[in-house]
Amino acid sequence: MKRHFIALTLAFAGLIPLQAATVSVLVIETGFPSGTGRTQSAAVWESGIMDVLFDAGHIVSNAPILRIPAAPDSEIPLQARHDFDDARLGGADFFVMVLLLFPEEDLEHPREIRIKVFSVSTGKLLYESSVIAKPWEDSGEELADARKSAERLIPQLVHRGS
């Protein structure tokens, strides 16, 4: 009897679709004059989001952190198209773009963080959120906020039949 139960359980387990998606993450910093070094915030947000997605069972990759002069006018800025195309060629299901918008007067902390999720197969924007940044006491607080934002992405990463 026990063997039949185990066999039946394994048979039904094979019918349950896996929820793992392949996700490519790109962090973009905006608002910096040329020649300015990288910020800690970019690495914190990249790490926080990738960790949560990985812990949720998704296959996660990233592109190098990108810096552009100002917030983009288009959904996917021209400078990020190469990374989006790489995600498509790599077989990613979703492209997560994290925009860190820095004010000119404070280049230490972003003023706003915009997170966008795109379907790689269609190029359509599936989800967008915006977080107004606060002055974090340390990178641990900022990492906690990045993780909270990433947790809101998880329901968006369900394969939608392309």
Distance CA 28, CA 119 (A): 18
Domains in the chain and their CATH numbers? 21-156 (3.40.50.10070)
For the segment 19-31, the average pLDDT, to the nearest whole number, is 90
Q: How far is CA 74 from the centre of its chain?
A: 18
Instruction: Tell whether the model's pLDDT for residue 27 goes beyond 90.
Output: yes
Q: What is the pLDDT of residue 7?
A: 46
Average pLDDT for residues 82-93, to the nearest whole number?
95
Q: Decide if 92 contacts 23 (C-beta within 8 A).
A: yes
Checking if the pLDDT of 160 tops 90, the result is: no
Q: pLDDT per residue over 114-145, tens digit each?
A: 999 999 999 999 999 998 888 788 888 889 99
| Residue of 140, 59, 57, 70 whose CA lies nearest to 96 | 59
Average pLDDT, the chain: 83
Instruction: Look at residue 138 in the predicted model and tell me its pLDDT.
Output: 83
- CA–CA separation, 47 and 32 (whole Å): 21
